[in-house]
């Protein structure tokens, strides 16, 4: 009975990790490969390794570290492969630069911040979320007003509401941003 319960728990953890990090890991791999389809394949391979690895019982930080490091290593392996060398004119200097720990740390921080911000935005009410998403894409209040069929004052009010709700949710991101600035 204990084995079945443990397997269900491991399966639940795996699904949670997959659902929360899959997209971020694909974008992370794409920073290396510049090929989204190849990145998806790399992430799938890493998730298969994760399933067969005993790390799922070691906690979130260990799982994230395993995933990001594995995705980086698989992405670098792809860049060094003959398949990639023939498609691109990347030099060993390019690969050395993106294989550096500094590049890796910076990209992991960027992906983690993006993931946290997106998760926080998903908690907003629909109108607030739409206004914030359009605003983050660089749209002016007048354009947002026109696109959503609401007044400019409503756009401004929705932004205020959104930022008031996002501020406490994103307070931990400040640590990531500070770390990013020092990398």
Residues 132 and 59 in one domain: no
Task: Supply 107's token pair.
Answer: 């990209």
Average pLDDT over residues 57-67: 87
Q: Do 91 and 161 belong together in one domain?
A: no
Is the pLDDT assigned to residue 177 strictly greater than 70? no
Residues 84 and 135 in one domain: no
CA-to-CA distance for 137 and 143, rounded, in angstroms? Answer: 11
Residue 176 and residue 110 in one domain: yes
- Confidence band of 183 (pLDDT split at 50, 70, 90): very low
Tens of pLDDT, residue by residue over 132-159, are 989 888 889 999 999 999 999 999 999 9
**Where residue 125 sits, what CATH number does that domain have?**
1.10.10.10
Alpha helices, DSSP H, located in 81-172: 82-87, 92-98, 101-122, 126-136, 141-148, 152-169
- State residue 36's pLDDT score: 92
pLDDT of residue 109: 82
């Amino acid at each position: 009975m204990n084995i079945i319960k443990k397997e269900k728990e491991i399966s639940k953890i795996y699904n949670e990790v997959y659902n929360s990090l899959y997209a971020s890991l694909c974008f992370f791999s794409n920073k290396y490969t510049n090929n989204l389809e190849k990145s998806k394949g790399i992430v799938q391979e890493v998730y298969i390794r994760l399933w067969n690895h005993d790390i799922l019982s070691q906690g979130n930080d260990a799982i994230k570290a395993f995933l990001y490091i594995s995705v980086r290593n698989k992405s670098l392996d792809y860049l060094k492969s003959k398949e990639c060398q023939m498609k691109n004119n990347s030099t060993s200097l390019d690969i050395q630069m993106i294989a550096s720990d500094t590049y890796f740390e910076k990209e992991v921080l960027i992906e983690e911040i993006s993931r946290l911000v997106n998760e926080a935005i998903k908690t907003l009410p629909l109108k607030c979320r739409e206004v914030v998403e359009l605003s983050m894409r660089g749209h002016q209040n007048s354009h947002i007003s026109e696109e959503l069929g609401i007044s400019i004052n409503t756009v401004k009010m929705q932004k205020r509401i959104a930022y008031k709700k996002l501020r406490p949710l994103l307070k931990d991101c400040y640590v990531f941003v500070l770390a990013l600035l020092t990398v």
